[in-house]
Each structure stands twice: as structure tokens, then as C-alpha cells.
Amino acid sequence: MRASKWQQHMTFQLPNAPTGAVWIHACSMGEVSSVSALIHRLLEKNKVVHLTVVTRTGFAHASRLFGDNISISWLPWDLPFLMARFIKHLSPSMLLLNETEFWPGMLKACKKQGIPIVGINTRISDRSFPKYYKTRKLWARWLSVVSLFLAQSDIDAERLEAMGVDKQNIKTVGNLKFAVSPPDVDAAQVRQMIDPTAKRPILIIASTHEDEEAQVLSLLPVWKQQQPNLLTLIVPRHPERFTDVAKLLSEQGLSYTRYAQERTGQEDVVLIDAMGILTSLYTIADVVFIGGSLVDIGGHNPLEAAVCGRGVLSGKHVQNFKTIYQDMQQHGAAIIVQNNKELAQAISRLLEKPVELKQLHGQAALFMHAQDQVLERMWERIEPYLES
């Protein structure tokens, strides 16, 4: 039976999942990506996994990543009787709760049915912490049912403690987003599809939001004057915006093709109007800019580029990945620009100074190598709960 989002939200349709599964909840596409390494580890250890999500893009991304190897459903709405019905049906062996997916109804239902909970990759953002702190007495009670929190950073651990979580139940293990692997693709084939000449320098503008494409396209003549052969790939974050971005490209008078169309070798831009292929495109990029950062979205994950050996540029609005960007900057693997003028200058500099660009990418590769033990630290903490 095909999963119906609203029927599953209301538990009219319950997931076809084996009882006793390890239940992982990850809200959306980015969170699904962050737990993928852990899910693969669980499967390697012959554990049965059920994943719940909230968004359609998260569901689709999980289906692409895991196929039939795990069961997937939408999370019920956080009403006590709906959560109780869902959890009784699923009867999981434990719940791994990703980042800040703190749902009081879910927590209460797990407690009543004796389901152990471990918070993984827990992050308390700058934006959300004041709200949590003001209502800390409530959260102290709700979160007391969580056996262990595995925090991304010491700052997150301190914020959890300030919210009333027992310090003994908090361990800092690092960000699971570091536990990423480069995509299993043939870069030469990817290159052939995107650039049949195999000679053009490639600029990727990734995970863009409304108004960001217009800002970047206004700078394109500067870079084209410097590198007439430059090919720009624009990857909107949300599929519902593909048509709007195509319209914008036409209005700007730019020569462009869509991802599935045949390339002439003369287009200025390729609009990537497909989902789930961004990481493969990083393997052929010369320069990477990550969106959600010129406008106040909070930025997007730079590690998917870094694991492909690509340093990144980003705007200043990266609060959702603040610690990661700070660490990458300190290692010389990321450049943060404050405005469009700085972005134009930074990309121009990298295009004309290949040695500096090579150093940026090299530092990204070294940075990822230094972070590759996050999954092992997390697994060490989770394994006793799996065994019990």
C-alpha cells in the first residue's frame, strides 16, 4: 500500500514495519542525510530500522538512500492518543531522536510504553535556545525520559543542562553530519553529462532560496568577463521553485538548459531541476557556493562538498551550521562573505588564482579526515542500548 502522508499523520494508515525495530526520527531531507551513516551501520549489524520523517522531500530522499532496506513513514501529529497508537503498533526496541525533534506527546508515549530514548546529534540553536530556556521547567520534565543525549558540541551540552537535563545524561560526541562518505559515482560520467567539452570551469551555486538566484546572477557578468568559458550550475533547494528559477533565467536573457536536456557547450547556466544529485555534482566542481546564506535562512550543510574535497564559500547567514563553518574557516576550508561585493571578489580571486583554489580544496579534505571518528564515538554510546 502506498504511504499516504495525511493518513499516516492521523494514524488512519499505520506503517508496514517489523516490530522491535530501531526507530529513528529525522525531520527533513538534511536530517535524513545526517543520520544516513548511522543507519548504514545499524544495517551492517543486522538491525531492523524504521525511519519517520515530517517532510515530503525527507521521505523521498530517504527512499532514494535506503530503498527497501528500511521501512519509512511519516510521523503522526504530536497528539498523545495518536502517538500512543503509533508506538503500540510499531513496538520499537528504542528511539533515536535526531537533533531537536523534541515532541512532548512522543516522549510521553514512549515513557508509558517503556521505550528507551537516546537523543543523537542533539543541537540547540542560537535561535531556539532562548525559547527553550524560558520554558525550561516544562522541558526539564519532558526531556527527563531521555536516557542519554549525544550532543554535537560543548555549547549544545551546556544548553541542554541549562534547560534542566541532568549533566550525567549528556555526552559530547561531535556532529554526525561529519560521518559522510563521498558519493559512489563516476566523476568522469557526471562531467560528460554536465559539460560535454570536459574543459569548462564549473561554478556550483547550491541549495538556493528565493532572491538568492537573482543576487548571484547579477554577479555572473563579472565572472564571465574573467572566465568567458565559465559554466554555472544553479541548484534550488526546493523543487517547487524550479519553474520560478527557470523564468528568472529567461528574464535575465541567459542561455541555459535544464538538467535532463542535452548540452550544447555554449550555455551559461545549467538549472539542476532534479533532487538527490547535488553531492555527485560536487565531485566535478571547481568553485562551490552554498546558499541559504545570502538571505537569512541559516545556511546549509557544507560537509557534503567537503567530503568530496571541495572547500566552500557561503554568505554570512550560517547560524544553523555555525560551529561547522567556524571550524572549517579555522582550517582554511571555508570562506564566509558578508555581502554580494565580497562574494564577487572572492569567486573572482579563486578563478584567477588556481593555487589558492587548490589550497582551499586541500584543506577541506584534511578537515574531513580529522573528523572521521564521530560515528565511532556515537556508536560506542548507543551500542549498550541496542544490546540490552
User: Annotated catalytic sites, by residue?
Assistant: 31
- The span from the CA of 153 to the CA of 229, in Å, is 43
- 89: Cβ–Cβ under 8 A, 6 or more apart, which residues? 11, 14, 15
Kindly report the backbone phi and psi dihedral angles of residue 339, in degrees, each rounded to the nearest multiple of 5, phi listed first.
-160, 180
Tell how far CA 352 is from the center of its chain: 31
- The span from the CA of 291 to the CA of 357, in Å, is 19
**308 Ramachandran zone, left/alpha/beta (phi>0; psi -120 to 50):** alpha
Residues β-bridged to residue 203:
232, 287
Provide Rg for the chain, Cα atoms.
22
- The span from the CA of 135 to the CA of 94, in Å, is 27
Cell representation of residue 73: 513513514
Identify residue 382 by its one-letter amino acid code: I
Strand order in the sheet with 256-258: 256-258, 269-271, 231-236, 202-208, 287-290, 312-314, 334-336
Identify residue 125 by its one-letter amino acid code: S
Asked if 236 and 208 touch (Cβ cutoff 8 Å), the reply is yes
Asked if 248 and 218 touch (Cβ cutoff 8 Å), the reply is no
DSSP structural state of residue 167: G
